[in-house]
Structure 1
Amino acid sequence: MKAAMLYDVEEVYSQSIMTKMPIIIVEGVDDVPLYDRICNSKSKRASVFAVETLEGFGQGCISLIKAMDKVKGLPESKFDPQDFIAGMIDKDVRDFRGEIPRNDLVFVLRHYSIESHFVFPDILESLLAYSTRTTSDLRSPALISSIADCVGRSFEVLYLASLEALKGALDPTYFSDVSYSYPYGRVKDLALIKKIKQKEADLLNFAELHGLQFDLHSLRMMSRGKWLLSVFCEEVERAILELPASCKAGAVAKCQFCVAVAHEQCLYKLKDGISGKNLKIFAMQHTDMPSFDYIRSKVDSMYEAVHGL
């Protein structure tokens, strides 16, 4: 019964041609609403399908690439498949391994994964507005920049852990203490962190060989996106928790309650129930950020090509 309910990839492609609606294939169920928001934020530009809903294919990037290979292998016609269908896959470490798919129907993300795109300075003001009662004048560019600097400095352990994972992924003879398969909680283990720091000099040499450095760009390239976003949101929470004391001391623009010496009502205080996990969920609704523009441009170009026929 289940197999009879699955879509046939050739029929999906044919339907795209008939309806002039591009099709975006994604790796799994969680990607469907994300890419739908990215692709269709202003108007309907594409339909989004998880690869596991296609007959003969499971979830994940390998199945997605195989599905695009099947479309690529269809008899040639007057239609260019690139105008009608694209499979979106996480970059992972494919570029470091020289394993970028040659199929031009496969669109590889610029960063490690879709989660990596949410770790962007542009989102900080929205996170601050969501998690505090600050007014727009308090959320100044100077404050946002200060929070960004504070959060950025806290990525050092993650940077080393990610280099360790990357080295293990590229060199099968290297015994790595960190694997990309690890859940985020394991990366925070103090004993593991101690081991990684003992390797710091070697890991920094490895980074230099691969053109990596301690900045957000390199982290988005080689740190597992789920790790990066979790650290980012936890550190944003930590930075916000320090703001009421800064407001009281006058280290940031004083809110009206601290001016009135009613410090317990400080507008910088974190709202009840807000945590790094809440911030992560909220952040992942912000698919309107510039970091997603290149994905939107791809979908827009497909839509415009289809409707220009």
Structure 2
Amino acid sequence: MLVSLAAAVSVGSADIRFTDVWRVVGFHLMGVGGSVDPATDAIVWQLRLPRVLLAALVGAALAGSGAVFQGLLKNPLADPYILGVSSGAGLGAAIAIFTGWGVAWLGEWAVPVWAFLLGSCALVSVLQLARLGGAMRTDTLILAGVVVQAFFGAMLTYVIAMASAVEIQRIQYWLMGSVALREWKDALVVLPFLFGGMAVVWLLSKPLNLFALGERSAAHLGVSVERTRLLLLLAATLMTAAAVSVSGTIGFVGLIIPHIIRMMTGPDHRVLLPISALAGAVFLVWADTLARTVMDPRELPIGVITAMVGGPFFAWQLKRYALGRRD
């Protein structure tokens, strides 16, 4: 991942050597590495490095939460958006762009704050709908996620229909996902949620492994099913909401990366969770690098790259895994 970060910062319209990247980073972090050209320093430290680090944080959050959802819901199609978080965050961003609410006192943070709040509201709505008779089951949780996602998606469509041409363009660009023009403060929004969320889900990785046996079996083995499920859902959803609030909706990362890593490492979440997060970080760093360089000076939405690169690679890995199991 460190090599990918340095290489991605080196790639761009301005040619910067790999060693110069480390000199700039060393100079700013530890005061070592010697003097560097001011233009190179500005490009690396102020423009490229915050963007690349944010891509890594967002990729880690989406892939880590995707691994949690797939293990918890025992559904191979589960990803960070199955509980309506993406629709809720998208609606929040659209409301901020369309109405301008909060811009006067939140400034440029209005869109991320609204996206985070509505994404969290989607989770609360799903949890309330899924709780029947004081208990919460996996099948009702997925159905509640579908209902909430459909509702927030309809509201989002209504806001887009009411918006002007300029506002529609801004909303659509946000919905396609991007880490362009982001700063250090954007990365600092995701950082505490990522590390806090990953710490919680990793500490609960052993109970999460037992969920594969069924909730009743897990309960017989001493797992507090309701409390563990709630903590895992909250941690994974808050990671997703924080990532989506600053990058927009970037699909495919939380679905494909945990699958690929599970094929390589097995289903043990003590290993699967941290490696999925690292792999998601590397994947999104290179996806963003392609998005900003493949059609330079124009920039592609990062979601296009994640789907175009991830789809064939996932199909190849799935085919190879199936052939290996048959042999």
Q: TM-score, normalised by structure 1?
A: 0.36
Larger Rg: 1
Structure with the higher fraction of residues in helix conformation: 2
Name the TM-score, length of structure 2 as normaliser.
Answer: 0.34
